[in-house]
Structure 1
Amino acid sequence: MKKLYLTCCRVGVLMGAIASLSFANIAMAEGAIKLCTGSEGGAYHFAGERIAEKAKNIDIELVVDTGGTMANIELALDGDCDAFIGQQDGISKLKRSDKNAAFKLKRVALLHKEYAHFICNKESGIDAITDIEGNAEYSIDLISDSSGGAVTWANFVAEDDGYAAVKKVYSEDAYTAASNVASGETTCMLLVSGIGSGAIGEIDTDMGSDLILANATDKDFNDALDTKGKPLYEFDEISKTYEVNLQTGFWASVETVSMRAAVYINKTKIKGKDLKQFIRAVNKAKDVIRSEFDR
């Protein structure tokens, strides 16, 4: 099916971006299911492409560079996207603040696993996320306030308010965040992504000698529940993945939490035959997506 790729700016200037779209693009998009994904080359974008390839009798338009899970949620609620790919803990965060809004969104499939990558300055002495709990002297870079890391951090704080003491900072991209951690400007960073992320691979190669991939588990995280009342996070492991610097010798394996990314729809936007065809496309693409990122 024909696909139209749009690039959205961050949510704060979203309306201006939409207004600037050409008439031709708007006309081409008419009737298509708009699927919010993520940055080009990332796991969500890859997943969106595979879903669009499997679509029959419907057009799926990929919306990219949205800014993260919470931005995708906002775009879906505002009607600028009909469906989106995102972290499950984003819905949990939304439900705490607006149950009615969360009710408008429906999960239709689970995709690949995503892992919390907790990366700290090697000289900081931190080798586990529990080391920074309750300490205002430490800082954590979440990249942006709508990023996957910010979503997961908010859920960590909801389960253990001791983490609220840690100073939150934002660097807008993972590479800059890692550079600030490597230089000691920031203590740690949190990046949630599929295993073997290209962004983390680049960080591993370029500055991993000054960083440590630390454990990201806390017994309180086990209490986090999804919207169905089931455990939100799985206690998991990242083993021998970033082998240039981050996972060599003693640090070859770290404990962390993982969850599966999911596809959601706005229940008011996709219905009937279109919904059936969309769900069919997602399920036909699901195994390919999982095989790319699951380990």
Structure 2
Amino acid sequence: MKSIILRLALLLAVAALPLFAAPAEAAKLRLCTGSPGKTYIRVGEKLAELAKQLTMGGLEIEVLPSKGSIDNLNRTLAGECDAFIAQGDAVAFFASAVDRTVADKVEVMGELYKELGLLLCRRGTGIDDLDEVGNGTVAAGSMGSGSLATMLVLKTIAPDLYGDIQIYPANGFEGALAVLEGKADCVFDVIAPQSDLVRTLNDNPRTGAQLYFAEIDNGDLEDFEVDGKQIYEIVTFDDELYDNLSTFGDPETLAISAVLGVSKAFLETAPEARSALAMLLLMGSKDIETVAYGERRPFEK
């Protein structure tokens, strides 16, 4: 009788064990994200939260602020970060113009969500599309930002349309201020629509009254590929979410993949992190998109 009771107790104890046991020591990953107030940091924080829930403490993510996609790649190669969030075209730009060995040192795990290349111009410029800027000036970001990388890629692959555009080295709030002060005609930022930046520019009386959404609608941009993968997609953006910045009709603009990349050196020292990160991308996709888009995706093909 005692033997039967012991066996039953053992079976109950085994049944009570979790399906996935946490490792004795968690893998600790330093994730480079983006500037305060932008979506990369909030997505990074969501990934850290999901890691605690889904890996049972097997992966700990430390979220680090940065200047953006290019800065993230530089810092990852320098060993200051183990992983990064970046635009897909910024990774391609980095590999072609900064460090051709980057593909040997980092691995892109997959897409987190789609970002939008949003163009805001000053009222009175008459600019309705990026290809109407001519030799005017666009505030497109400082060195280290993915927005600047995108603008440089556009100037390279479509020189007839964008080659004469002058670049002012700022974006975000600083870029918007440059437009208001007449230092630039438009500000260009690659950003998630559910962004503190766009909401603030819309709600601020000064920027909301002087800025408006313009388009980037060159369908040929969709032909640009890296390693056989499409980088850009032309989508229609529901700008009515931002009533002060909106114009008549929903503008077309670029959708760009925001991806999660990891140092191959880190994966060699913590091989279990690969499956943990893959699980985060798969099981956390809805939570990540909610951070980036809000309750619904505000654009469509």
Could you tell me the TM-score, scaled by structure 1's length? 0.81
Give the corresponding residue for 2:212: 212
Give the corresponding residue for 2:228: 229
Deviations 1:61-110 (A, max 9, x none): 1111x101000011111111111111101111022123322332211121
CA distance in 1, matches of 2:189, 2:278: 29
Please report how far the alpha carbon of residue 269 of structure 1 lies from its aligned counterpart in structure 2 after TM superposition: 1.6
1:163-174 to 2 correspondence within 5 Å? 163-171=162-170, 174=172
The question of whether the paired residues in 2 share the 8 Å contact of 1:127 and 1:212 is answered with no
1:117 matched to 2:122? The reply is no
Q: Which runs of 5+ in 2 are unaligned?
A: 1-25
The question of whether the paired residues in 1 share the 8 Å contact of 2:193 and 2:292 is answered with yes
1:46 matched to 2:42? The reply is yes
Q: Give the counterpart letter for 2:237 in structure 1.
A: I
CA distance in 1, matches of 2:219, 2:131: 10
Q: What's the % identity of the aligned pairs? A: 25
CA distance in 2, matches of 1:123, 1:73: 38
Residue 259 of structure 1: which of 256, 260, 282 is its match? 256
Partner SS for 2:101: helix
Give the corresponding residue for 1:240: 239
Q: Give the counterpart letter for 2:41 in structure 1.
A: H
**Which segment is superposed worse, 190-199 or 283-292?**
283-292
Q: Give the counterpart letter for 1:53 in structure 2.
A: E
CA RMSD of aligned residues (A): 2.0
The question of whether the paired residues in 1 share the 8 Å contact of 2:221 and 2:233 is answered with no
**Which segment is superposed worse, 230-239 or 181-190?**
181-190
Q: Give the counterpart letter for 2:30 in structure 1.
A: K
The question of whether the paired residues in 2 share the 8 Å contact of 1:116 and 1:256 is answered with yes
Deviations 1:111-130 (A, max 9, x none): 12100111111111110011
Partner SS for 1:261: strand
Q: Give the counterpart letter for 1:229 in structure 2.
A: G
Q: Which runs of 5+ in 1 are unaligned?
A: 1-29
Change (3 A) 1:54 1:292: closer
Larger Rg: 2
Partner SS for 1:110: strand
